[in-house]
């Protein structure tokens, strides 16, 4: 039992509404081979809906109103990935989740930067001593430059960003990533 407990990790995906939590959760589950195909919020593009937005009201409104847990094995670990509500009306559920997780992925919308609900959620992480990994989404849309986002993280919440990958092109003209691990570039267009 001790071995099983030691290999479990719970990770919450948090952010302001409409930054892409459910989409990121779906992508992580897909890459961990927990699901066979990634759905889309509102079932866009003929794809099915996301597995974490399971209730009819979540699917019809395109928002998460309760936290949903996806469990899958990744390497030697059992991962509990929690897609949390971003909207302030449902934030109590997210706050409760943050008291019980090992880490959080804070998702930022590149076009909007740090939004009010994301700042509140980060404060909860800080109070609960939850480590935070920051992921910037939506580079394909016009928005804030990467250096300005890094400055905003440092100035507004005291994080010292250490990018593991770096976008190629400016926000709205995203063409790929420089990957720090393999010192290579991947282009997407």
How many whole angstroms separate alpha carbon 87 and alpha carbon 72?
A: 26
Residue 138: what pLDDT?
A: 85
**Pair (83, 99) in one structural domain:** yes
Q: Of 97, 118, 138, which residue is a domain's last?
A: 138
How many whole angstroms separate alpha carbon 21 and alpha carbon 86?
A: 8
The torsion angle over the Cα atoms of residues 68, 69, 70 and 74, rounded to 10 degrees, is: 150
Give start and end residues of each alpha helix (H) in 39-173.
56-61, 91-98, 116-128, 146-157
Short-list 74, 49, 69, 51, CA closest to 60: 49
Q: Say whether 24 sits in a helix, a strand or coil.
A: helix
Residue 155: what pLDDT?
A: 94
Mean pLDDT is lowest, of 19-23, 32-36, 182-186, for: 182-186
Residue 128: what pLDDT?
A: 94
**Pair (69, 154) in one structural domain:** no
Beta bridge partners of 107: 135
* Average pLDDT taken over every residue of the chain: 81
**Pair (134, 170) in one structural domain:** no
Please answer whether residues 132 and 125 qualify as being in contact, where contact means their C-beta atoms are separated by less than 8 angstroms.
yes
Residue 42: what pLDDT?
A: 47
**Pair (132, 151) in one structural domain:** no
Residue 98: what pLDDT?
A: 92
**Pair (60, 39) in one structural domain:** yes
**Pair (164, 99) in one structural domain:** no
Mean pLDDT, residues 122-144 taken together = 90
Q: State how many domains the chain has.
A: 2
111: burial class by Cβ within 10 Å (0-12, 13-18, 19+)?
Answer: middle
**Pair (127, 165) in one structural domain:** no
Give backbone dihedrals phi and psi of 140, rounded to 5 degrees, phi first: -75, 0
**Pair (50, 118) in one structural domain:** yes
**Pair (11, 95) in one structural domain:** yes
Domain range for residue 153?
145-189
Mean pLDDT is lowest, of 57-61, 129-133, 170-174, for: 57-61
Mean pLDDT, residues 29-50 taken together = 61
**Pair (130, 171) in one structural domain:** no
Beta bridge partners of 83: 13, 68
């Amino acid at each position: 039992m001790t071995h099983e407990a030691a290999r479990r990790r719970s990770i919450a995906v948090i952010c302001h509404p409409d930054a892409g939590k459910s989409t990121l959760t779906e992508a992580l589950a897909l890459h961990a081979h927990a699901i066979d195909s990634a759905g889309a919020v509102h079932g866009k593009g003929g794809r099915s809906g996301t597995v974490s937005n399971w209730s009819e009201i979540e699917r019809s409104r395109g928002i998460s109103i309760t936290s949903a847990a996806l469990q899958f094995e990744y390497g030697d670990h059992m991962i509990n990935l929690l897609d949390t509500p971003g909207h302030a009306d449902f934030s109590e559920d997210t706050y409760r989740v943050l008291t019980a997780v090992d880490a959080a992925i804070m998702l930022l919308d590149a076009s909007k930067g740090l939004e009010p609900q994301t700042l509140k959620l980060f404060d909860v992480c800080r109070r609960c001593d939850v480590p935070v990994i920051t992921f910037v989404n939506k580079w394909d849309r016009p928005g804030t430059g990467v250096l300005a986002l890094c400055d905003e993280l440092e100035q507004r919440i005291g994080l010292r960003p250490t990018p593991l990958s770096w976008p190629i092109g400016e926000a709205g003209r995203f063409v790929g990533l420089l990957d720090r691990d393999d010192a290579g570039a991947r282009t997407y267009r």
